[in-house]
Amino acid sequence: MTYQKPLDTQWSAFSTARDVSSGIDLSGKVAIVTGGASGLGLETTRVLSGLGARVIVGARSPQALNDLKGMRNIDTERLDIFDQHSIRQFVERFVAREKKLDLLILNAGVMATALHRDADGNEGQFATNHLGHFRLTAGLWPALRDAEGARIVSLSSRGHQISGLDLEDLAFERREYDKWVAYGQSKTANALFAVAADARGVKDNIRAYSVHPGSIVGPLARHLSKDEIAGFGAVDEDGAPIIDPAKDKKTIAQGAATAVWCSTSALLHDIGGVYCENSDIALVETEKRSGVRPYAVDPQIAEHLWQKSVALTGADID
């Protein structure tokens, strides 16, 4: 089991990304934020760039990327994490001009989509949320190694509690497709990815973390109907988001806090492979809504997933 024990930080569900990074200087650091042009990714981009890091934002939308042009310390690149060709081109462009990568924030994702598949037949949510980021990380690994102290942050969520992995049917070829089970499986994969990546990276001072940002009404909910969103108690009678951090209903600024904390906190200097929430390491829980399920931080399952991902993508690290 990984070091899954809270550090009792000074932060809480109410803390914002700016709060948890106050006083930190990232001058000279290079960061990539996938899906960094909207929602949580955009807030993460703003905060990291405000700390002095040069942030490269990868996103699908040309208009969203265009809106970021001219902003201080921010470069934009088209990146469709669902498309192998797009990932390969992004990596090639990056390594051609950069010597290192200090922070890799794997933020892009989809939730509760209708069944769709990538070019290899992989289920769409798993392909986007996990396999695309797996390919990207493998391609960028040499640049992470050259940073001599890089961090990888993988956006998981409490959605991982919906489902563990079915390693024999990740693509829903035998099971009936359920969009929420598929989403839960992909979020479990995001957490396990951090465990396996950290185990591989620790010798080169590359540490990896997974995070639950909180429940935020934002772009990730674009595939849900108004009735589905209302059914979660996420909006009021006027359709406005309900903000109650004590019940995990956060603003975007609060939702970005844990990813920024994992990217910058000195408390994590010698710790990696952990699942975090509310800007702290989460407890392992089997019943409570908070915390992380044991299967999502299990090193053996993480290793099985890594090997399966290598087989599915042809990508790996040295």
Q: Is residue 228 part of a domain?
A: no
For the chain, what is the domain count?
Answer: 1
pLDDT of residue 1: 47
Residue 23 belongs to domain spanning? 17-218+251-313
Q: Is residue 283 part of a domain?
A: yes
Section 130-147 average pLDDT:
98
DSSP three-state, residue 183: helix
Distance CA 179, CA 55 (A): 33
* 29-69 pLDDT tens trace: 999 999 999 999 999 999 999 999 999 999 998 888 888 98
* 270-279 pLDDT tens trace: 999 999 999 9
Distance CA 98, CA 96 (A): 6
pLDDT of residue 221: 59
**Helix or strand (DSSP H, E) at 280:** strand 280-281
Of the residues 183, 209, 275, 295, which is catalytic?
183
Bridge partners (DSSP) of residue 74 are 55
Distance CA 160, CA 300 (A): 17
Q: Is residue 4 part of a domain?
A: no
Distance CA 259, CA 159 (A): 16
Q: Is residue 51 part of a domain?
A: yes
Distance CA 258, CA 254 (A): 8
Q: Is residue 189 part of a domain?
A: yes
Q: Which residues have CB under 8 Å from 22's CB, separation 6+?
A: none
Dihedral angle computed from the Cα positions of residues 84, 86, 88 and 93, in that order, rounded to the nearest 10 degrees: -170
Q: Is residue 120 part of a domain?
A: yes
Structure tokens at 234: 């996420």
CB neighbourhood size of 315 (10 A) = 18
Average predicted confidence (pLDDT) for the chain: 94
Q: Is residue 225 part of a domain?
A: no
Question: Does the pLDDT value for residue 228 go beyond 80?
Answer: no
Section 234-239 average pLDDT:
74
- Say which residue the tokens 């009936």 belong to: 176
The sign of the dihedral angle between the CA atoms of 164, 112, 153, 147 is positive
CATH code at 257? 3.40.50.720
Is 183 one of the catalytic residues?
yes
Section 12-20 average pLDDT:
98
CB neighbourhood size of 143 (10 A) = 20
Question: Does the pLDDT value for residue 310 go beyond 70?
Answer: yes
Distance CA 261, CA 21 (A): 7
Q: Is residue 232 part of a domain?
A: no
**Helix or strand (DSSP H, E) at 32:** strand 30-34
- The rounded Cα 77 to chain-centroid distance in angstroms is 18
Identify which of 258, 184, 286, 249 has the alpha carbon closest to the alpha carbon of residue 15: 258
